[in-house]
Every structure is written in C-alpha cells, then in structure tokens.
Structure 1
Amino acid sequence: MGQHESNTKLIWQVFGFLSLVTIVEVILGIIKPHSLHFTNFLGTSLLNWIFIILTLVKAAGIMWYFMHMNHERKNFVNSIILPLIILIPYLVTLLLIEGGYIHDVMAPYINWKY
C-alpha cells in the first residue's frame, strides 16, 4: 500500500503558496505603492512587472503540481516549458507596446484617472 500515498499535505502546501501569492497581489493592487506605481521600467510600472511575474509564478505552480508536470519526463517538460519561455515574453512585449500606443493615441480624448 506504500505505492499510493496521500497527497493531501502537498495539496495544502500548494494551496497555501498560491493563496499567499494571490493575497500579495490583492494587497499590492489595493495599496498601489507610489514608488512602484509611478516608476517606469521597460515600458510599464514596476507594479505591473510585479503583477506579471507573480501571475507567471502562479501559472507555473499550477502547471507543475496540478497538471502533474513534476512527474513527467524531462524532454516532455522541456517541450512545453521552452515554448512558453519564448512565447510569454513576446506576448507581454506586444501588450506593452500596443497598450502604450493606445494610451498615447487616446490620451487627449479620455480622462485617465490614477
């Protein structure tokens, strides 16, 4: 019976980690520290970069544990992870470029509230 161990402890640990990351995101979203919110870095605020990184950490944790990637062969994991390492920064870059363009074009017509 040693083959089928209970993963209850691991599930609670992952739940706690994901909850902690989510709580940090919510607190930062409510507080919006001035030093992070109004400091630009690579096209957006440091606060946005923190949200992007924390979201990627949560996505990786969900994929690693709940999609059982930690039990797969290395080549299979690499075939999924490597395209994401390339694709996600590319998509984030496109979003930042297009978002900056929309903001610049629409700024005279919209009252942006911060």
Structure 2
Amino acid sequence: MAEIHATPQQAAARHDDVPVDGGAAQRKQIWKVFIILSVITAFEFLIAFTMQTSMLKVAIFVGLTVVKAFYIVAEFMHLKHEVKSLIWSILIPVIFVIWLLLALMLEGGSIFEAR
C-alpha cells in the first residue's frame, strides 16, 4: 500500500480553515446565545406561573416568542450577516403575517359579541 506524502504547503492548505484559538470564539458565541434564550424562556415561565390568564399574558407570550424566533434566525441562520435588502425582504412579509393573524383573532372574537 503506497503512502501519500504531502508537501508542507499542502498540509498548511488543509488546515487554513481551522481557527487559531481552537474555536473558542464560536463556543463563546454559542454560550451567549444559550444564556440569552434561557433568560427569555425563564421570564416566560415566570409569567406563566404568576399571571392570571388574560389578553396581556397572551400578548407577552407571542411577543417573546417572536423575539426568540428572530434571534434564532439571526444567529443560527446567519441572517444578521446578510445584506439589508435581504433582511427586509424576509422581515416585511413576516410583519404582514403577524398583522394578519392579529386581525383575524380580533375579528374572529367579534362574531361572539354580535350574538
């Protein structure tokens, strides 16, 4: 079986994509995202067990869920590193869908009030 010997330049080329710090910056970023999402989730649990059911409680849950979703998309799908036009082309339809859902919930509730 023949062995393949790489030149020093070929060996260096294969290791150019390895971070110098061994990935410490990526691990730090992952821990930061984990802590932020954990704090938001802990706040959601606090609200869930302390507030009585109301429209305000539902609005807080929906708002925090949207915040977590945007943060996850920005961090893990790398949207925050994209050009602004791409971000807006994704964000504007999402805003309209949220507006549509809110309008449908409010109008759907008025059916019961009309009777």
Shared fold by TM > 0.5?
A: yes
- Describe how 1:1-114 pairs up with structure 2 within 5 A: 4=19, 6-33=25-52, 37-38=53-54, 45-98=55-108, 100=109, 104=112
Structure 1 residue runs of 4+, over 4 Å off? 1-5
Structure 1 unaligned blocks of 5 or more: 39-44, 106-114
Share of identical aligned residues, percent?
36
Output the aligned Cα RMSD.
Answer: 2.4
Q: Distance in 2 between matches of 1:2 and 1:58?
A: 31
Please tell me the residue identity of whatever aligns with 2:41.
T
Q: Distance in 1 between matches of 2:59 and 2:72?
A: 20
Task: Please give the secondary structure, in 2, of the residue aligned with 1:94.
Answer: helix
Greater gyration radius: 2
Please tell me the residue identity of whatever aligns with 1:11.
I
Task: Please give the secondary structure, in 2, of the residue aligned with 1:81.
Answer: helix
Q: Distance in 1 between matches of 2:102 and 2:39?
A: 24
User: Normalization by structure 1: what TM-score?
Assistant: 0.69
Structure with the larger RCO, 1 or 2 (CA within 8 Å, 6+ apart): 1
